[in-house]
Chain A
């Protein structure tokens, strides 16, 4: 039973892991949408009007109504197109609480680690310190993966779910900082479950075209740091 789609727009940017989240969710639900790419360093009228509080991407606009904040948008997509595709949130309240808890954890640790690591150079003392924190977070997420997946392919089980999207969307930038500071984070020896999971995630139909290349993000970082995107 196909739900009536209405008009679906997404304001975003190719480099943003947060924008990747609703894109993956919409793909999982088979919902077509119109993409509005923001220019880095310059916010569009549409963005400022749709998200006056944060002025940030992503913003989903469904039948003219804006929804902001990536995790909230993913839940909205799951609830609105609940009869399309598999459920993104687990069905059991306790499993949902676990998925939401780890998503809060991911958002607390990963973007900050990436932000701190990407302007650094290989071998710097600060890089070592920040890398340790990221290693520790990934180690905990490895254990979470064991528990949540229960032997299946994804945190969500057989299908990509809420936590897969939350963490998976950060993989491109994790790979980019690996190249920038030359430290391996997605290490098969240390986090084998997550590494195998990351490969399955990347290969998934709904994800393939969404994730940017790590090299492109490295180049993006270089431009960001040299002030090329200055307003």
Chain B
């Protein structure tokens, strides 16, 4: 067991990628120091630890920085072996990673477009998002969580959608209609948010909606400053 190891997390309160790392740390019972970053005025520490992307989250363990939230999750699982979040079997691991990257690359892309764009482009993005939600809905058939009876890596990876999709919808005025069309996914969202580690580790909803509302007003299709 890695006792009294210095674990630090650089983050931003509204960021889903940062919460994803916090959920993993809390599930594993790992003590860490959290450093809130003002992304409009980044600290010299953040820039030193992540000169390439200059983004949050950054996990620093024993002075070594790890960047990219899904990479951080795998690092956490490999370093602290209690309460594993990834399955043992290689095929199951490949499926877990598949859905994680699907959500991180594809769903995030369409959600971002639905959020920032208007008119026809917005409609097209919502349509694409619904095709993606259908795939996730089918994957959940017969399962409480993506990882089975308990939340795991895939749930943590998809988890941003349980909270931030609704936030984005409210802030940008669109509806992906998952409660009507995707019953498994809708049920999963509620179950995921009810998990103690998750419930106690979400940003305040109203404040987050406000944040994203003003973020949208800043305009342009720039990438959100987090990964």
Contacts and interface: CB of A to CB of B under 8 A. Distances in A.
Interface of A: 53, 62, 65, 67-69, 72-73, 75-76, 79-80, 93-94, 96-97, 100-101, 104-105, 140
- Give the interface SS of chain B, mostly helix, strand, loop or mixed: helix
Contact of A97 (B52, B74, B102, B135): B74
B109 to A, nearest CB: 13
Interface stretch (B6-14, B87-95, B198-206): B87-95
B97 A69 contact: yes
11 contacts: A53-B135, A62-B91, A67-B98, A69-B97, A75-B93, A75-B97, A76-B91, A79-B90, A94-B64, A100-B71, A101-B71
Contact of B93 (A68, A76, A97): A76
Given A69-B98, A75-B97, A96 B75 contact: yes
Contacts of A105: 52
A58 B176 CA distance: 31
B97 A72 contact: yes
Given A72-B98, A72-B101, A75-B97, A80 B90 contact: yes
A105 B50 CA distance: 13
Interface residues of B, number: 21
Contacts of B66: 94, 97, 101
Contacts of A97: 66, 71-72, 74-75
B78 A93 contact: yes
Contacts of B61: 94
B106 to A, nearest CB: 8
Interface string B72-88: 10110011000000000
A93 B93 contact: no
B30 to A, nearest CB: 14
Given A53-B102, A69-B101, A101 B91 contact: no
A62 B91 CA distance: 9
Contacts of B75: 93-94, 96-97
B68 interface: yes
A96 B78 contact: yes
Nearest to B96: A72
Contacts of A140: 52
Contacts of B101: 69, 72
